[in-house]
Amino acid sequence: MKRIALSTLSLALLGATGVAHAQSSVTLYGLIDESIQFAHNTVDATGANKNQVGLVAGNLQGSRWGLKGTEDLGGGLKAIFQLENGFDPNNGRLGQGGRMFGRQAYVGLTGDQWGTVTLGRQYDPLVDLVQPLTADNYFGSTFTTPGDVDNNDNSSRTNNAVKYTSPVWGGFQFEGMYAFGGVAGATGAGQTWSGAATYATGPFSIAAGYFRAENPHTTVPTRAGWGSTSDGTFDNQINGAYAAAKSIGIASVAIQYVAGPFTANARYSNAQYKPDAQSGFGSTEKYNVAGAYLGYQATPALLVGVGYTYTKASGDASATYHQVSLGGDYNLSKRTDIYLVGAYQHASGDQRAANGALVSAGAAVGSYGYNSASSSQEVVSLGIRHKF
């Protein structure tokens, strides 16, 4: 899962003249998530299935460091900002396509009575309000949708976005977001918009929302790929052939119930990759996804969980993916934990390959980006996560 770290280090913000601003603060925070991972039935350079063992980062959360801050403007109004960098601890490279602050970069205003407005590169409302009620919130990429076709694992962020987040009124909260395409003479080209709402009362929570991103027109007969204000979720072979879609629409709903040490949730999403004359495929590809999770807090330090995800692709190509995931997370301290997570997936039916051909569906666990020429795949990770 690629979300904000919980542990922070607060620093006093000093002005350039050396005058201290007591009502302002800046927080430095981050985390590193690293593992030894085994993947069975992973395609090598020759197209054959092989086993793969190596260091893989970002199983529970993507590694990151960031700065966030507030300035009290008086009357309950504050200025806020956040800059969040993603990186790969195995090689030190920047994540999110090499962006310096690819995870988040925004500035805005917030007030207790009227809510929060932020501008910049941000998560969409489904990520903010619906995703926290799913298995991915607890065990990350190993428990998410194959190929992350519905962005359950937060693969996509949105540029040029204006987002409003309401206060919480009696357990109810909503968000709305619009991202400008920035194309002269074509206001809607490349635009993204989204809205979601959540309600929580006692142990019960529910959230639902919709996300839509547009791919702009090009001057060539067929698009080379995805160029929207939103990143897109093309992690592997499951939906990689649809990067030239005209638009992506995702409707999502999730419910959660907490009873003592048990947490149970269920979710449903419908993702549609729609074509036009420049897409290179003729029919809308639909992904209906249903998932369920049960977590048990065995001790104050140990969380164990099991999840199941059913994904049905139809329209341009027809395939079915069954994925079962298991995980355990043990806290060594408030800032350091170790974990063991694994998943098995079985695929059947047909997929659209990158070259346009229909081929037998290959399994691809979660959002790791592994392709397989087999109908099954297993991934197991033993890791450590440290927050600062």
pTM, rounded to two decimals:
0.91
Strands (E), the chain: 8-14, 20-43, 49-57, 64-74, 77-86, 104-111, 115-122, 158-165, 172-179, 192-201, 204-214, 247-259, 262-274, 285-297, 302-314, 319-331, 336-352, 358-360, 376-387
Say whether 240 sits in a helix, a strand or coil.
Answer: helix
CB proximity list for 285: less than 8 A, separation 6 or greater = 239, 242, 245, 272, 273, 313, 314, 315, 316, 317, 352
Chain centre to alpha carbon of residue 43: 24
Q: How confident is the model at residue 236 (pLDDT cuts 50, 70, 90)?
A: confident
CB proximity list for 98: less than 8 A, separation 6 or greater = none
Q: How confident is the model at residue 19 (pLDDT cuts 50, 70, 90)?
A: very low
For the residues 119-147, what does the mean pLDDT come to?
97
DSSP 268-334: EEEEEEE--TTSS--S-EEEEEEEEEEEEE-SSSEEEEEEEEEEEEESSS-EEEEEEEEEEEEESSS
pLDDT in tens, 249-278: 999 999 999 999 999 999 999 999 999 999
CA dihedral 214, 218, 222, 223 (to 10 degrees): -50
Q: How confident is the model at residue 31 (pLDDT cuts 50, 70, 90)?
A: very high
The pLDDT value recorded for residue 14 is 38
> Is residue 22 pLDDT above 90, yes or no?
no
Tell me the C-alpha distance between 379 and 370, whole Å.
10
> Is residue 3 pLDDT above 50, yes or no?
no
For the residues 110-119, what does the mean pLDDT come to?
96
pLDDT in tens, 61-93: 999 999 999 999 999 999 999 999 999 999 999
pLDDT in tens, 355-385: 889 999 999 999 898 888 899 999 999 999 9
Structural tokens at position 211: 């996300």
Q: How confident is the model at residue 139 (pLDDT cuts 50, 70, 90)?
A: very high
> If 0-12 CB within 10 Å is exposed, 13-18 middle and 19+ buried, where does residue 315 land?
middle
Distances (CA, A) of 351 to 29, 56, 148, 215: 41, 27, 15, 22
Rg (CA), the chain: 21
For the residues 188-202, what does the mean pLDDT come to?
95
Q: How confident is the model at residue 218 (pLDDT cuts 50, 70, 90)?
A: confident
Q: What angle do CA 258, 5, 11 make, to 5 degrees?
A: 130
pLDDT in tens, 294-346: 999 999 999 999 999 999 999 999 999 999 999 999 999 999 999 999 999 99
Dihedral of CA 364/367/369/370: which sign?
A: negative
Mean pLDDT over each residue of the chain, to the nearest integer:
92
Tell me the C-alpha distance between 118 and 105, whole Å.
10
CB 386, CB 336: distance < 8 Å: yes
Strands (E), 18-63: 20-43, 49-57
Domains of the chain: 8-387 (2.40.160.10)
Q: How confident is the model at residue 25 (pLDDT cuts 50, 70, 90)?
A: very high
**Neighbouring-strand partners of residue 384:** 34, 338
Phi, psi of 128 (to 5 degrees): -70, -40
The pLDDT value recorded for residue 68 is 97
